Copies of this chain bind each other. A is one copy, B any other.
Amino acid sequence: MSSLQEFIDYLRSRGYKVTPQRLEIFKTVKSMRNHPNVYMIYQEVKKKNPTISPATVYKTLEVLERVGEIQAVCQIDGKTVYDTKLSPHINIHCLKCHKIKDVESDLVERLVKEVQIKSGARIVSQSINFFGYCSKCADEK
């Protein structure tokens, strides 16, 4: 799933209701980059729907996470932001500028396979977080 129509179909198929709020939040999240937090999403959605409440945003984000449209990422300070990336990747958390950068690697898929074989577990998703200094901040040091 990734398009608005697919989201609508998903909601209907599960007995969830299709509301303007949910569609607006879906569109907003999809248009945002750079790992927004709930407050940033709330502020952005409010531009289109000034009366929306944070509670509605929280509840819809929970639905979007269940669908697999977004993924919560825990920052080193414990705060939660969201990732709208779908493919397996690594989050690089910069300890200086605090930005998060995504990097892809074929090794992720291999790592998942190896871990499944080694542990006997069945893996359905992953969150890989590296901490250090992004290329820009590493250069400045």
Contacts and interface: CB of A to CB of B under 8 A. Distances in A.
B107 A135 contact: no
A94 to B, nearest CB: 7
A64 interface: no
10 shortest interchain CB distances as A-B pairs: A120-B135, A74-B74, A123-B132, A124-B132, A122-B138, A127-B129, A107-B111, A123-B130, A122-B133, A126-B130
A128 to B, nearest CB: 5
A94 B124 CA distance: 10
Interface residues of A, number: 39
Interface string A74-105: 10101010000000001010110000010101
